[in-house]
C-alpha cells in the first residue's frame, strides 16, 4: 500500500500541483453528480473498479442543472470512506463548514447538506446556471476504513454537535408513506 512505505523507489515522486489549474469537466444535467468527476489523482485498488484512494477537489465552477432539480450533494451513503476538508471560502452544502475544518464519513454513514442549505436548494428553481466561486474543498475517498486518532477525538475543535445540522430537516419519508397508504 502507498500508505505503508518507508521510502519511494522507481517512478514514485512527490510533486506540487496548482489546484487553481484544475479544470472541472462536467455537465450536471440534473441534480448533483458523483464527485468522481472532480478526481485530480487516483490510486488504483486491488479489485477492478475500486480505488485505494481518490484525491478530489471541488473548485470554483459553473453549476448548471435543469429546472426544479437539486444542486447540492443529495443525502447518500457510500461504499467508500470520505475525508473532506475546506481550504478556503465556503462550502455550498454546509454553511457552518469553515476553512481548516474537516469531516469524516465512514463507509455507509449517511450524510448530506445541512438543513439551511437544503431549504435554500429546494427553493431555488434552477432556472439560471450559477458560478460557484466562493470556496475550494477537497476530499480523500478511500476503500479503506479510517479512524480518528486520540488527539482528534479529544481536540477542543471537535464538533460534538455535528449531527445537529440535520435536526431541522422535515421527515418527508414518513409523509410519503402516509400518502401512499391513504
Active-site option among 47, 82, 141, 161: 82
Known catalytic residue at 105: yes
Active-site option among 9, 47, 76, 150: 76
Active-site option among 9, 105, 141, 179: 105
The answer to whether 42 and 57 have CB atoms below 8 angstroms apart is no
Q: Is residue 120 exposed (0-12), middle (13-18) or buried (19+ Cβ within 10 Å)?
A: middle
Known catalytic residue at 76: yes
Beta strands in the chain (DSSP E): 39-44, 51-58, 61-63, 81-89, 102-105, 130-132, 135-142
Count of CB atoms within 10 A of residue 9's CB? Answer: 7
Known catalytic residue at 111: yes
Kindly list the distances between the CA atom of residue 35 and the CA atoms of 39, 58, 163, 167, 168, in Å, as whole numbers in the listed order: 7, 8, 22, 25, 26
Active-site option among 9, 32, 141, 182: 32
Active-site option among 111, 127, 175, 182: 111
- Residue with grid cell 444535467, as numbered in its chain: 29
Known catalytic residue at 82: yes
Q: Which residues have a catalytic role annotated? A: 32, 76, 82, 105, 111
Amino acid at each position: 500500500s502507498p500508505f505503508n512505505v518507508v521510502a519511494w523507489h522507481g517512478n514514485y515522486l512527490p510533486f506540487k500541483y496548482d489546484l487553481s489549474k484544475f479544470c472541472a469537466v462536467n455537465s450536471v444535467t440534473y441534480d448533483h453528480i458523483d464527485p468522481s468527476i472532480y478526481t485530480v489523482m487516483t490510486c488504483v485498488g486491488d479489485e477492478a473498479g475500486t480505488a485505494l484512494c481518490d484525491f478530489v477537489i471541488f473548485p470554483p465552477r459553473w453549476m448548471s442543472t435543469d429546472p426544479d432539480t437539486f444542486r447540492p450533494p443529495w443525502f447518500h451513503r457510500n461504499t467508500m470512506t470520505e475525508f473532506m476538508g475546506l481550504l478556503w471560502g465556503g462550502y455550498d452544502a454546509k454553511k457552518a463548514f469553515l476553512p481548516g475544518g474537516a469531516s469524516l464519513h465512514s463507509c455507509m454513514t449517511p450524510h448530506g447538506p445541512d438543513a439551511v442549505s437544503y431549504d435554500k436548494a429546494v427553493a431555488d428553481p434552477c432556472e439560471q446556471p450559477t458560478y460557484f466561486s466562493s470556496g475550494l474543498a477537497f476530499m480523500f475517498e478511500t476503500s479503506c476504513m479510517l479512524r480518528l486518532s486520540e488527539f482528534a477525538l479529544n481536540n477542543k475543535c471537535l464538533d460534538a454537535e455535528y449531527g445537529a445540522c440535520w435536526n431541522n430537516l422535515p421527515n418527508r419519508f414518513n409523509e410519503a408513506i402516509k400518502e401512499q397508504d391513504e
